[in-house]
Amino acid sequence: MTKNKWDSFWLGLAIGLILPALFCVAYSYTISLNHLWSRDMFDMLKPVLGRMALLGTFANMALVFVLYELNVWRLAKGVIVAVVPYMAAGIILLG
C-alpha cells in the first residue's frame, strides 16, 4: 500500500471548513436578500443562515464520497470532522 502525500487529516479538515463557506457564498449570489436588510436584520436572517450552513454540508458529503472512492481515508476523515461546526451552527440558528 503506497502512502499518498495528500492523504492528511489536517488538509481534509482545512478543505472541509472552507468548502461549505465557498458553497454558501456562491449560493447567496443566486438568491436576493436585499429585502431583509433592516433594523432587525439578524433576527430575519437567522433561518436563512441556518439553512445555508446545513446546505453547505452537502458539498462536504459529496466530497467525502469521492474521497472514499479514491481510497484517501485520512483526507475523508478530516472532511467529515469539519461537518460538525456547520451542523452545530445550522442547528443553533434554526433552533
Q: Does residue 12 contact residue 74 with C-beta atoms inside 8 Å?
A: yes
Question: What is the overall mean pLDDT for the chain?
Answer: 84
Helices (H) and strands (E) in the chain, counts: 3, 0
CA distance linking residue 28 with residue 16, whole number of Å: 19
82 near 13, Cβ under 8 Å?
yes
For the chain, how many structural domains are there in total? 1
For the four alpha carbons of 42, 48, 50 and 56, in that order, the dihedral sign comes to negative
pLDDT of res. 40: 67
Give residue 38's pLDDT band: very low, low, confident or very high (50, 70, 90): low
Is residue 3 included in any domain, yes or no? no
Range of the domain at 82: 9-32+41-94
Domain membership of residue 51 (yes or no) is yes
User: With bands split at pLDDT 50, 70 and 90, how would you rate the model's confidence at 39?
Assistant: low
Nearest partner of 76 among 88, 89, 62, judged by Cα: 62
Note the pLDDT tens digit of each residue in 40-74: 676 777 888 888 889 889 999 999 999 999 989 99
